[in-house]
Structure 1
Amino acid sequence: MTPSSPQSPLWPTARAQARLVLRALRTPSHPATPLLGDSPRRWLRYLPYLVVTAAVAALLPVTVNVLTTAYGLQADAAWPLAVAQTAPLLMAPTRPLQAWWLVFTADVIGAASLTGADTLGSPWPWPPPVVIGYLILMAFLGLRESRPALIGVWLTTGIAGFAFELLRSELSDGVWMLLFILSGVVLVATGALRERGDAQRKLAAQESISEAERAQRTLLEERTRIARELHDVVAHHMSVITVQADSAPYRIPGLPEQAREEFGTIAASARESLTEMRRLLSVLRSADTGGELAPQPGITRVQQLVEATVRAGVPAELSLSVDPAQVPQAVDLSAYRIVQEALANVVRHAPGAVTRVSVVSDGTDLTVVVVNGPAESRAEPLEAAGTGHGLVGMRERVRLTGGTLDTGPLPDGGFRVAARLPLTAPGTAEETA
């Protein structure tokens, strides 16, 4: 069994590839949109039309002149043939495959009409203007069509040229081989340029999708972290409620039996809530977060953050004017995390920048402000461009407490992070009053 027999494993593959090429030659791989039509520069959008217009204006009279003088064709036959061989180039910017079918058919008809003429000393079957126009069309084809279509065009060009060569008894001038080689070179070059552009566009789109996915993952991770931290905050209060409810009958003498039962119900409900919360937390807490059982940090540890930032080479100052006892634990933890992330951003993006941290309270709101000037260190930043993922966590924490967050660059090149965190949960201020 030979490799080319119908029973060979290569035969189904060859037939499938042939069907793919024929389908690509029949169906354009893109809609009839202009080449470079989405370019932001106007001259680039008009460039393909200027090229084909100049090519038709130059090739049409030259083709007529060559057909009449070099090949002895009558003018009444040369003009229609020249128009058929050159005018379809005007379709190349939008419909290059359809233009190729028209030009190729006209070129074959022209070569057939010159078969019986005295073409000794003149290139045959493709006159020089035909070769030039054909190569221009190949460039447009390579920039728009798929690889199977380009292979089909190239093979069809070579088969047609070789078929005409078999009809000629004189010594070949090799023009058919020249067009076959040059058209292949042009198709490969322009096709590679198109595929490179497609790959760059897909890569840019994939990077945009990846960036969105990273931002979403950062948001989910921060929410999970907040949920774990809130567990510690809420669990403390629920434990206090449980202890107070259980110890009430012993601390308050003469408590009625009905009140004892009520306190027992409160304690049981608090314990049940703690159990349900821990069960939910087990889903959020990963296996490697056992160290998070330590007490959560707060405003009292902001001084340590500033000192660590100074040791990292960033001159930082702290203004702390707040009584930690008057700050709810959720706000206390959120303020600490906001300062922590803001200082980490300064170290990453603005090494050496003078930074001022302010945490003050007016009795109603806790205001956290972190302002840094332009980077003064000669060292390169650890990150040249930020992703903004750190700000995602800040916004989530501020939203959790019902506050507001204001971030943005300063006119002198620095950056400002300002958060306002209400000390009383929304909807409870009136109740407390």
Structure 2
Amino acid sequence: MISAVVQPFWLAFFRGEADPPPPRSPRLHRSVPRPLRLLAPLDHYDVVQVADLLVAAALFHTTLMELTPTSRQPIWMVYLAGVAFSLPVALRDRWPLAAWRLALVLLPLSLRVVQQVTDMQPPYLGPAIVMYLLMLYSVAARCDRRITVVVWLASVLTVWIIDPNTMALSSVAMTVIVLFGYNVRVRRRATASRDAAVSERSVMAERARIARELHDVVAHHLSVIAIQAEAVPMTAKGDAARLEEGLAQIRGLSLEAIKELRQVLGVLRDHEGRADTTPPPGLDRLDELVGNARSAGLTVLVKRSGELEKVPTAVAVSAYRIVQESLSNAMRHAPGSAVAVELIWAGDLRVRVVNGASRRPGEAPGAGHGLMGMRERATLLGGSLEAGPMEGGGFEVKATLPLEQPS
């Protein structure tokens, strides 16, 4: 219990630290003009920090102008008051809590100097008021709530000690500034949390997209390669020419798979221009896809209707991947079957892939990631997909992909 009460005071006066400065707009980072770069230690400067230095210089100058003409004290005391009213402002952006501690220590001494020099009652010079309110705002906007409460309490007690008659008005002013700074802190943290959530969702969406692309590429090409590798020795029957031709087909399929994998993984490379910018496969490569399936033993019949070359790129890519995954499933689960592929443009793009029952045993159904990926592709475009077994054997995939994308 005692430690819970003492800890905020310990943090505020000794061990506590403020949050780092919030991210700033690029417009607040400026380049140093070329003629001045020989005199400046950096090529860029922070507009906020420069503004704080200018405000600190203005407070120092104003203090000297107000105190010097009527000073009955040594001039170094006037300069001490000027430093006390300006130095914390110069430090507040980088070390707001340390700047407040410095201000709290120097404020009573500097106000005492003001009182002796000017006989002001209360001895609240304008630069002192501006400086201290800026310190309170910086602490409230950048420090933990417990620290902020202790800072406010210490400030109220200090004002009461210096001049009890103005405690009420001063306390109201400091409370307003502290509440304003705390509200800024809450809004910043809420904005940061929202941006982090949006960024995380974007990352997850990109991961899902890459996973779908990888699954489609790997599943299709490896299925064809595996079937070809099994079929080539059987069809060649010792004929070196046919064996060489079959191996050449396998090599071509392998190179095509590598090319598509590089294209998909290009988004994971650096931003120095080395990412592969080859356009993704669309309906213009449908004949090549069908040829690969036929070489793996499927009998594929394709029916097209409408101006498919005008289909938007996103829709064409999804349609290609749906056909590719459907053919891959037919190769794995119904090898040697007949497959009908229909692409119809009728206000939207309708894709239908039907394979008959297998002529020879195939693999057992997998975990369903391919079907899940096809549904996700259709849903992202605002469409729908249905897939399931048919009566009498075989499997059917039907997708409807709108040509106008949802906003």
TM-score, with length taken from structure 1: 0.48
8 Å contact kept, 1:111–1:124: no
1:318 matched to 2:352 = yes
The residue that corresponds to 1:349 in the other structure is: 381
8 Å contact kept, 1:21–1:151: no
Q: In 2, Cα distance between the equivalents of 1:103 and 1:149?
A: 16
Shift of 1:47: 3.0
The residue that corresponds to 1:21 in the other structure is: 9
The residue that corresponds to 1:67 in the other structure is: 67
1:24-103 to structure 2, matched below 5 A, reads 24-30=12-18, 33=20, 35-36=21-22, 38-39=23-24, 41=26, 43=28, 46-69=46-69, 73-103=73-103
**SS of the residue aligned with 2:46?**
helix
- Give per-residue Cα distances to partners, 1:333-388, cap 9 Å, x unaligned: 46997467525632552349xx9x9xxxxxxxxxx9999876337xxx4xx6xxxx
TM-aligned CA distance change 1:128 to 1:301, over 3 Å: farther
TM-aligned CA distance change 1:130 to 1:328, over 3 Å: farther
Q: In 1, Cα distance between the equivalents of 2:26 and 2:360?
A: 57
The residue that corresponds to 2:363 in the other structure is: 330
**SS of the residue aligned with 1:325?**
coil
Q: In 2, Cα distance between the equivalents of 1:340 and 1:131?
A: 65
1:416-431 to structure 2, matched below 5 A, reads none
Shift of 1:147: 1.3
List gaps (5 residues or longer) in structure 2: 30-44, 212-332, 388-395
- Give per-residue Cα distances to partners, 1:14-44, cap 9 Å, x unaligned: x73244233333123347x5x23x4461515
1:375 matched to 2:403 = yes
Shift of 1:209: 6.5
Aligned residues: 260
The residue that corresponds to 1:133 in the other structure is: 131
8 Å contact kept, 1:67–1:73: no
Q: In 1, Cα distance between the equivalents of 2:6 and 2:380?
A: 57
Q: In 1, Cα distance between the equivalents of 2:138 and 2:85?
A: 16
Shift of 1:131: 0.2
- Give per-residue Cα distances to partners, 1:312-331, cap 9 Å, x unaligned: x95414366x6642575338
Q: In 2, Cα distance between the equivalents of 1:124 and 1:55?
A: 24
Q: In 2, Cα distance between the equivalents of 1:189 and 1:95?
A: 19
Shift of 1:49: 0.3
1:152 matched to 2:137 = no
TM-score, with length taken from structure 2: 0.50
TM-aligned CA distance change 1:143 to 1:48, over 3 Å: farther
TM-aligned CA distance change 1:148 to 1:338, over 3 Å: closer
TM-aligned CA distance change 1:70 to 1:181, over 3 Å: farther
The residue that corresponds to 2:171 in the other structure is: 180
Q: In 1, Cα distance between the equivalents of 2:352 and 2:124?
A: 84
- Give per-residue Cα distances to partners, 1:120-171, cap 9 Å, x unaligned: xx452321110011122222222221112211221111111111225xxxxx
Shift of 1:48: 2.4
**SS of the residue aligned with 1:376?**
coil
The one-letter code sitting in structure 2 at the alignment partner of 1:82 is G
- Give per-residue Cα distances to partners, 1:263-311, cap 9 Å, x unaligned: xxxxxxxxxxxxxxxxxxxxxxxxxxxxxxxxxx9799998x989x999
8 Å contact kept, 2:88–2:99: yes
Q: In 1, Cα distance between the equivalents of 2:78 and 2:24?
A: 39
1:162-181 to structure 2, matched below 5 A, reads 162-166=160-164, 172=165, 174=166, 176-181=167-172
TM-aligned CA distance change 1:335 to 1:124, over 3 Å: closer
TM-aligned CA distance change 1:204 to 1:344, over 3 Å: closer
Q: 1:195 aligns with which of 176, 181, 186?
A: 186
User: Which one has the largest radius of gyration?
Assistant: 1
8 Å contact kept, 1:114–1:125: yes
TM-aligned CA distance change 1:28 to 1:302, over 3 Å: farther
List gaps (5 residues or longer) in structure 1: 1-11, 167-171, 220-296, 358-367, 385-433
TM-aligned CA distance change 1:91 to 1:369, over 3 Å: farther
1:248-287 to structure 2, matched below 5 A, reads none
TM-aligned CA distance change 1:61 to 1:154, over 3 Å: same
Shift of 1:84: 2.6
- Give per-residue Cα distances to partners, 1:169-201, cap 9 Å, x unaligned: xxx4x3x54443222222221222113322343
Q: CA RMSD in A?
A: 4.8
Q: In 1, Cα distance between the equivalents of 2:87 and 2:195?
A: 38
8 Å contact kept, 1:107–1:126: no
8 Å contact kept, 2:136–2:177: yes
Q: In 2, Cα distance between the equivalents of 1:88 and 1:193?
A: 21
